[in-house]
Structure 1
Amino acid sequence: MKHFRISFLVSFVCLLGAAWWGYQKGGMTGALSALGIAVILGVMEVSLSFDNAVVNASVLKTWDAFWQKLFLGVGIIIAVFGMRLLFPLVIVAVAADIGLTEVWTLALNNPDEYSRHLTNHHAEVAAFGGMFLLLVFLNFLLDHEKEMHWLGNVEKKLGSLGKVSSISVMVALGVLLGSLSLVEEAQKFVVLISGLWGVLIYVGVDAISNYLEKEEEGGSNVGEMVKKGGIGGFLYLEVLDASFSFDGVIGAFAITKDVVIIMLGLAIGAMFVRSMTVYLVHKGTLDQYVYLEHGAHYAIGILAVIMLASMKFHIPEIFTGLVGVAFIVASLWSSVRYRKQQAALVAA
């Protein structure tokens, strides 16, 4: 439980803050309501981002203690205040062409209007996040050097396509162009630009990792360099977390329009996801359950598709969360079977 002590402490503080905020607005009833909503949002965030924790752990496991602590410390501040509070404010500020201070006032005093502005630009946000997550999945799937294959020969043959230079980017761009059919004609250009930014950010983070760490890592490939720690890897994980957070932030407005409660509730979930990541690293869980990383990446691939589909169709957050959990559970089961098979071979 030591890995989760800070998470419980942060949760306690956030729940106190939620209760105080609710009490200020509606007395004891408001306090209890705010507490309940904050807990629900925290649970929702964990369910939506558990696969994020697994992927984070696969990257973080080769980092030294300094970068792990930085990820848990500075990273959580960026995740909570940057992505779950400031980023939605920036979206509304840009969309409505007003200042951040005015947007904050709008969020507090007219949450329905604030929510309307934010949800009106869901397609652009979904295109950006969907493209980034899709590339995370594709670069894992189309990796010809990957030795473990959860889906056997099918996955192995798909991985061999990774020998083609930039195949992941080409596939992602094709998906982006195809997804434009899901939005209205007037939205297609801004959605295209948003999706291209998602691709560029992913490629850019890889490039930064390459530039900053190439000398230290002796010219190893970008995917491996990201996993060695340093500012490049830190940026990669922060953008990955940002892509995951979009779904939670947008979905939270279906539960409450209060931006303070949303931030506090999602902060609880984000903190537990970070602690879960460190727990998986320290316990060596990914080494024990060899297909867990596969399940998480497939869940990310499905999430990317869901985000793109949500530009036209309403997809309940509970469905998104359950799909991710299903892949994690299936990969755990496969990992246990694999361990038993290996143990039987050794015994024989």
Structure 2
Amino acid sequence: MLKHFGFSIAFSVVCLGLAAYWGFAHHPEAGVQAMITALTLTAILAVMEVSLSFDNAVVNASVLRGWNHFWKMIFLTVGILIAVFGMRLIFPIVIVAMTADMGMLEVVNMALNDPKNYSERLIAHHAEIAAFGGSFLLLVFLNFFLDEGKDTHWFRWLERRLAHLANVPAMSVFLALITLLVMAAYVEEAKRLVVVMAGIWGIVIYIGVQVLGHLLGGEPEVDEQGNAIAHDSNGAATGVIKAGLGGFIYLEVLDASFSFDGVIGAFAITSDVVIIMLGLAIGAMFVRSMTIYLVDKGTLDAYIYLEHGAHYAIGALAFIMIASGTGLHVPEVVTGLIGVAFIVWAVIASIQYNKRLEQS
């Protein structure tokens, strides 16, 4: 266990130390009380991030299990830097800078010295963020089930019908666009075009990542050691780098889509951007360690419906994000519990399946 989560624990200690220092020395009401508050909020945000992204870890594992040690370490190191500083710090700043016609340094100054104004400006564009992230996650959900080659079904009555729809060309994109148009109908008219464009970009990015993955070697095959090996058109091995690079980009975009909800939700807990970054960073690190743990332990193979549960949770999150973009508020606790519930349900169903298999 320590092998998989040791780095996350050390990372958490560092982040909590930074949070304590920030509260003690830089908070407007600097002191011991502010330090305790900062530590508490950081811990709450970390737990929230893990609960919101547990299904993300399962889906990550389904992609990552075909990678070698090198790409797993890239996922944990370079990937976490992108996840923490790119998506949970820089990306929100870029959104505010672009929409408020401000310079990056001005926005950073605002985030540090006027966090309330910063959070209000960011939340004002929640509909566009929700449309982008929701559309991307919806395609992740749909393309898992709209697969005619999929022969393992959890809810047979539903999944067989969805698999049959895979015969219709671009069915997942069609459903995603219909969902986006329905969402746009409930968005205020002034924002409608921007929201639709954001959703379309979510769809384009998803398809673009798939195209890139195909160009870089397609779906990786797995050897006896569990390493991904891409092949060229002649069947010659091209190594794991191409397959790993395509998968790495896919996982980073997937993580970005998950992070949108967490970043926006974090401002309901605190407007301190430093505490938000540290808390979400701890959560993101544990989610990545959890991914490696699931891969190394062969959990997806042991629990046959776990991947199904994760994708149902992603589908639920996608619809919640899209609904939230219309103004419907769904508490982050509810979102997190839905994801955890699907995962637990899938594990229980998998255990029952394994028992039936042993008895037959």
After TM superposition, the score normalised by the length of structure 1 is 0.95
CA positional deviation for 1:232: 1.1
CA RMSD of aligned residues (A): 1.7
CA positional deviation for 1:279: 0.1
CA distance in 2, matches of 1:187, 1:227: 42
Residue 128, structure 1, aligned to residue 129, structure 2: no
In the other structure, the counterpart of 2:254 is: 240
CA distance in 1, matches of 2:156, 2:329: 34
Structure 1 unmatched ranges of 5 or more: 220-225
CA positional deviation for 1:230: 1.9
Residue 264, structure 1, aligned to residue 278, structure 2: yes
Instruction: Check whether the contact 1:51–1:296 (CA below 8 A) recurs between aligned residues.
Output: yes
In the other structure, the counterpart of 1:210 is: 214
In the other structure, the counterpart of 1:222 is: none
CA positional deviation for 1:231: 1.3
For 1:314, give the aligned amino acid.
Answer: H
In the other structure, the counterpart of 1:115 is: 119
CA positional deviation for 1:217: 3.4
Aligned to 1:68, the other structure's residue is in SS state helix
Give runs of ≥4 in structure 1 deviating > 3 Å: 214-219, 226-229
The structure where helix makes up a greater share of residues is: 1
For 1:199, give the aligned amino acid.
Answer: I
CA distance in 2, matches of 1:167, 1:309: 21
CA positional deviation for 1:214: 4.3
In the other structure, the counterpart of 1:223 is: none
CA positional deviation for 1:153: 3.3
Which structure 2 residues correspond to residues 247-326 of structure 1 after superposition, within 5 A? 247-311=261-325, 312-326=327-341
CA distance in 1, matches of 2:188, 2:196: 12
CA distance in 2, matches of 1:134, 1:227: 28
CA distance in 1, matches of 2:282, 2:296: 21
CA distance in 2, matches of 1:173, 1:309: 15
CA distance in 2, matches of 1:317, 1:175: 22
Aligned to 1:213, the other structure's residue is in SS state coil
Aligned to 2:150, the other structure's residue is in SS state coil
In the other structure, the counterpart of 2:106 is: 102
Figure out how many residues of one structure are paired with residues of the other and give that number.
341
State, as a whole percentage, how many aligned pairs show the same letter: 61
CA distance in 1, matches of 2:168, 2:13: 50
After TM superposition, the score normalised by the length of structure 2 is 0.92
In the other structure, the counterpart of 1:144 is: 148
CA distance in 2, matches of 1:227, 1:124: 34
For 2:13, give the aligned amino acid.
Answer: F
For 1:283, give the aligned amino acid.
Answer: K
CA positional deviation for 1:154: 2.4
Aligned match for 1:33, one of 30, 37, 42: 37
Aligned match for 1:194, one of 178, 192, 198: 198
Structure 2 unmatched ranges of 5 or more: 220-229, 234-239
Instruction: Check whether the contact 2:128–2:195 (CA below 8 A) recurs between aligned residues.
Output: yes
In the other structure, the counterpart of 1:15 is: 16
Instruction: Check whether the contact 1:59–1:227 (CA below 8 A) recurs between aligned residues.
Output: no
Aligned to 2:148, the other structure's residue is in SS state coil
Aligned to 1:149, the other structure's residue is in SS state coil
